[in-house]
């Protein structure tokens, strides 16, 4: 065990924040963990589960004297949290986040921080559709990627320490620009969520009888979309609002491809359909080879719920 920090503050002890707290605890990376939650129920859950040494509803109290502050709220809230903690941050304190969008988070957080704070934006690309402290688990991050998007003049020691935390969580760490991060995520994460929300929303708008059939026969493929569409509404509202340019760009491209597919079906161009489906099957194979397929994550969830029984 290597202790990296004396005091770590985690603002927002939800799925990601509480999973990270579990990692810090299990690996002994911080001597003291102080968590922040606005809800008394979540504060009690976090203490009962031993996720944090102390819980408070005041982000400034948690950040005071902290060596590292992890911002783990939805991305729409990070700017106001940064403003709240800025006056109490000690010299050299590392401020990092876990937000699924990077450009907007940097624009919201960086101007609020004092010059002596060291900001390292980060996104651990791992998650489930669940929320809250009770649903976190330390293994969530294992084998996944964590993307860091520090500025060119970022403090390299701080970048190395944040890298180390995520490596200890079992992640592979990569560095890129915030713009590239947002474009890639718009394609691999935000667009699929948008499609899932649309499909499930369309089904919900259908007549009562059809809806029942939709649920009854959901194993036909619909079920997988409902899992994604069951993700936290506030978190995803913030992601779409703060990564709107990149999402609208990939959505435009997607609409064109969908229209081409519509045409191929209408004109019975089976070879075009087969060609596309062969290419997509190949991509699925590569995802499995890269060990980024969801079943791994589901296996972890099963292991975890078996342990809890």
Binding site for ligand NAP (CB under 6 A): 12-17, 37-39, 42, 72-75, 77, 81, 98-100, 123-124, 126-127, 131-132, 232, 235, 239
For the CB of residue 190, give the shortest distance to ligand NAP in the complex, in Å.
10
Q: Tally Cβ neighbours within 10 Å of residue 43.
A: 20
Q: Which is nearer to ligand NAP, 127 or 150 (CB)?
A: 127
- Asked whether 150 and 120 are in contact (CB, 8 A), the reply is yes
For the CB of residue 216, give the shortest distance to ligand NAP in the complex, in Å.
28
Tokens 């999973």 -> residue: 19
Q: Which is nearer to ligand NAP, 140 or 161 (CB)?
A: 140
For the CB of residue 56, give the shortest distance to ligand NAP in the complex, in Å.
11
Q: To 5 degrees, how large is the angle CA 70–CA 72–CA 77? A: 115
For the CB of residue 147, give the shortest distance to ligand NAP in the complex, in Å.
10
Q: Which of 43, 70, 76 is nearest to 57 (CA)?
A: 43
Q: Which is nearer to ligand NAP, 85 or 93 (CB)?
A: 85
Q: To 5 degrees, how large is the angle CA 133–CA 104–CA 158? A: 70
Q: Which is nearer to ligand NAP, 126 or 171 (CB)?
A: 126
For the CB of residue 15, give the shortest distance to ligand NAP in the complex, in Å.
4
Q: How far apart are CA 293 and CA 106, in angstroms?
A: 30
Q: Which is nearer to ligand NAP, 83 or 272 (CB)?
A: 83
Q: Which is nearer to ligand NAP, 180 or 211 (CB)?
A: 180
What are the start-end ranges of the H helices in the chain?
Answer: 15-27, 40-48, 59-63, 78-85, 103-109, 156-168, 178-185, 191-205, 208-216, 222-229, 233-242, 244-266, 270-289, 294-308
For the CB of residue 182, give the shortest distance to ligand NAP in the complex, in Å.
12
């Amino acid at each position: 065990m290597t202790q990296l920090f004396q005091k770590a503050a985690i603002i927002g002890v939800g799925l990601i924040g509480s999973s990270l707290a579990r990692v810090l605890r299990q690996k002994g990376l911080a001597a003291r963990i102080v968590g922040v939650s606005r809800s008394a129920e979540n504060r009690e859950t976090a203490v009962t589960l031993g996720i944090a040494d102390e819980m408070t509803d005041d982000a400034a109290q948690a950040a005071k004297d902290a060596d590292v502050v992890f911002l783990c709220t939805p991305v729409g809230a990070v700017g106001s949290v940064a403003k709240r903690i800025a006056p109490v941050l000690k010299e050299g304190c590392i401020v990092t986040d876990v937000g699924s969008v990077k450009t907007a988070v940097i624009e919201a957080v960086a101007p609020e921080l004092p010059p002596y704070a060291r900001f390292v934006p980060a996104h651990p690309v791992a998650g489930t559709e669940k929320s809250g402290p009770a649903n976190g688990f330390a293994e969530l991050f294992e084998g996944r990627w964590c993307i860091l998007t520090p500025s060119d003049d970022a403090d390299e020691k701080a970048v190395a320490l944040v890298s180390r935390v995520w490596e200890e969580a079992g992640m592979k760490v990569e560095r890129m620009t915030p713009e590239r991060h947002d474009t890639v995520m718009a394609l691999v994460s935000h667009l699929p969520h948008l499609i899932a929300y649309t499909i499930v929303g369309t089904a919900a708008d259908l007549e009562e009888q059809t809806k029942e059939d939709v649920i009854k026969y959901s194993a036909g493929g619909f079920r997988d979309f409902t899992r994604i569409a069951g993700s936290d509404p506030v978190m995803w509202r913030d992601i779409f609002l703060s990564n709107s340019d990149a999402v609208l760009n990939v959505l435009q491209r997607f609409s064109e491809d969908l229209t081409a597919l519509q045409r191929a079906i209408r004109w019975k161009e089976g070879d075009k359909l087969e060609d596309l489906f062969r290419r997509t099957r190949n991509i699925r194979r590569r995802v499995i080879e890269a060990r980024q397929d969801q079943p791994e994550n589901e296996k972890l969830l099963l292991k975890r719920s078996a342990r809890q029984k």
